[in-house]
Amino acid sequence: MGAFAESGNLVQTVRMGKTKAEMREELLRAVEAEIDQLLNWEDNTAEVTITDIEDQVLAARQRISAHITGVLVQRRAERADLARPSPTNADGKRLHYKGKKTEPARHAPEW
């Protein structure tokens, strides 16, 4: 994958094939859905206190933050996977995790 120029702006693509603009639109749709849910809740609730509103907004903010964080972490992980070559040994075979060493580290002899 990589980057390409689009109308003067640099748009980065990731493994999933989504551009920065597509990711932005996806995130905006998720935020708009949360806002719609809050407005519907407010319309359909007869008596609302400020504490109720604060609780609903806090819950929506936490869901939005978790979603955005997840998307950005996934995007960063995909970019890191693309940038880092697979570790290989001298024969060109891919290395794999062999477990934790059970032998203690060697120390310099005491003089």
Highest mean pLDDT among 17-26, 36-45, 83-92, 96-105: 36-45
89 falls within a domain: no
Using alpha carbons, select from 55, 28, 62, 27 the residue that is nearest to residue 41: 55
Q: How many domains does the chain have?
A: 1
70 falls within a domain: yes
- Predicted confidence (pLDDT) per residue in 33-59, tens digit: 999 999 999 999 999 999 999 999 999
Give the orientation angle of helix 50-83 with respect to helix 20-44, to 10 degrees: 160
Domain that holds residue 48: 3-83
66 falls within a domain: yes
- Predicted confidence (pLDDT) per residue in 13-31, tens digit: 334 557 889 889 999 999 9
